[in-house]
Structure 1
Amino acid sequence: MFKRILVAVDGSKASLKALDKAIELQKLMVGTEIVILCVYKHHSLFEASLSMGRPVDIDIPDKALSEYAKGVVNHAKDLAKEHGATKVRGFVKGGRPSKVIVKFAQDKEADLIVVGSRGTHSDKDGMLLGSVSHRVASMAKCPTLVV
């Protein structure tokens, strides 16, 4: 039924539960691929310039955030393989998480998006769901499973 499942991870418990659910689904469907995505928030030069301490060389935190996101993806891939996942790929992107997840799902032709109900930076905007999972579920063109 699903050939490609996109799992958005951020290192939170909820996102790792979403990964577990994607692994369960993969085991039920031969040939299904799990695509893991971690999105870090891109910081502009303007945002970096607003800091109280202004170093001579403005260093945008994107590099550090990208490295952290790579670690999150690698950890998720290792966990997936430990739990029996077979076809697993991982990606890191910068930008607004909900928009990037939806666009990435379209670009990779994902049949299903699996997200955690609350991530590491949840707020009240999403009411009962985290704001990212709420926006992804409302914007995605493919089915979205919120775990």
Structure 2
Amino acid sequence: MYKRILVPTDGSDITQRAVQSAISLAKLTGAQIFTISVKDPYPYSAISEIQPTLPQEFLDAQERVATRNVSAVKEACAAAGVECTAHTVESVSVWEAIVDHAKKQQCDLIVMASHGRRGVQALLLGSETNRVLTHSPVPVLVVR
């Protein structure tokens, strides 16, 4: 069955549910978990207000948050007795980073959360989960 499960994390509550689902599945199948947090390389985006933050301060903050997020997954895995490897990557495209990482780590399943955005917010922000579902050659389990 599944031996290498990728769990993208942004530290949100719904992502924690996906982590718990991945851990449960890993325990059942003897799988290893890989976790990834994707960092934005640019301090300004087209849909956010310009922030008075120096680029290096922004990058440092992104790294701290990403490291905290993957560390939380590693701790949850360790508590459950599941092997976990964590990475933080920088990319302007979250979904592409997830799909590429799954390929690079030879994962056979991606477990990720659906943030349930609807209406204008979904139109403007899109759905990273939907893009992963559309483009991943690896099966994707979506946790709501």
Structure 1: gaps (5+ residues) = none
Query: What secondary structure does 1:74 align onto?
Result: helix
Name the stretch that deviates more: 134-143 or 72-81: 72-81
- CA displacement at 1:27 relative to structure 2: 1.1
The two structures have a TM-score, normalised by structure 2, of 0.82
- CA displacement at 1:59 relative to structure 2: 3.2
Cα pair 1:66 1:94 within 8 Å, conserved: no
Q: Within the alignment, does 1:79 sit opposite 2:88 as a pair?
A: no
- CA displacement at 1:53 relative to structure 2: 5.0
Task: Give % identity.
Answer: 28
The two structures have a TM-score, normalised by structure 1, of 0.81
Change (3 A) 1:52 1:117: closer
Structure 2 Cα separation of the partners of residues 70 and 106 of structure 1: 21
Equivalence for 2:24: 24
Q: Within the alignment, does 1:40 sit opposite 2:39 as a pair?
A: yes
Deviation above 2 Å: which 4+ runs of structure 1?
50-55
- CA displacement at 1:51 relative to structure 2: 4.5
Equivalence for 1:70: 67
**CA RMSD, Structure 1 to Structure 2 (Å):** 2.7
Structure 2: gaps (5+ residues) = none
How many residues align? The count is 136
Rg (Cα) greater in structure: 1
One-letter amino acid matched to 2:63: S
